[in-house]
Chains A and B, each alone.
Chain A
Amino acid sequence: AQTVTQSQPEMSVQEAETVTLSCTYDTSESDYYLFWYKQPPSRQMILVIRQEAYKQQNATENRFSVNFQKAAKSFSLKISDSQLGDAAMYFCAYTSLGGYQKVTFGTGTKLQVIP
């Protein structure tokens, strides 16, 4: 079974600084997708960024970028120029392209942004 591990339950960053959230996963599949979702205090989950495993280039969305290391099964999220609005729970997630069609989430990392 696929598993997603986020080993940092909580992290903090100074406003305007850069922070990296870690995620590792376990799979025997060769083709899959990885996601980072953000859940702010309002608890409304939104997608931050998505990475297709067959693409070697790391995905980027404005201040958010990933470091995807397929061989190491690692998928970290880098937030640059951190803002107060970045404070949230961040969930790493995985899905394969097989028939089961479900998404497996990690346990989340709570990010605090210090003014």
Chain B
Amino acid sequence: DGGITQSPKYLFRKEGQNVTLSCEQNLNHDAMYWYRQDPGQGLRLIYYSQIVNDFQKGDIAEGYSVSREKKESFPLTVTSAQKNPTAFYLCASSISGSYNEQFFGPGTRLTVL
């Protein structure tokens, strides 16, 4: 079955530690996205990538980093520079072009202890 997966489902981190969230898709999509979801704030774009080896900052990129070495994978690293990292993180992919439907993963809940 084609789809998009995120792991882990729940992640706990101590303050000052970097942590990497995984996102993999087998839909052969060129574009991939990372969103952060907080209560009452909808989805906010962290980073997006339209093609392998290229990515752009979204609206709230500070404290985050990404890589896009393979078409299928778009991992997100939450660094210690992110002041308030506790949130729900959603990864999505789509055929190239933002007017296309985005397919979302099940999300990762990150909690900083």
Contact = CB atoms under 8 A, between A and B. Distances in A.
Interface of A: 4, 6, 9, 33, 35, 37, 42-47, 50, 52, 91, 95-97, 101-108
A102 B98 contact: yes
A33 B90 CA distance: 21
Contacts, number: 53
Interface residues of B, number: 23
Interface in B30-63: 31, 33, 35, 40-45, 48, 50, 58
A96 B44 CA distance: 16
A95 B99 contact: yes
A107 to B, nearest CB: 4
Contact of B99 (A6, A97, A104, A108): A97
A9 B39 CA distance: 11
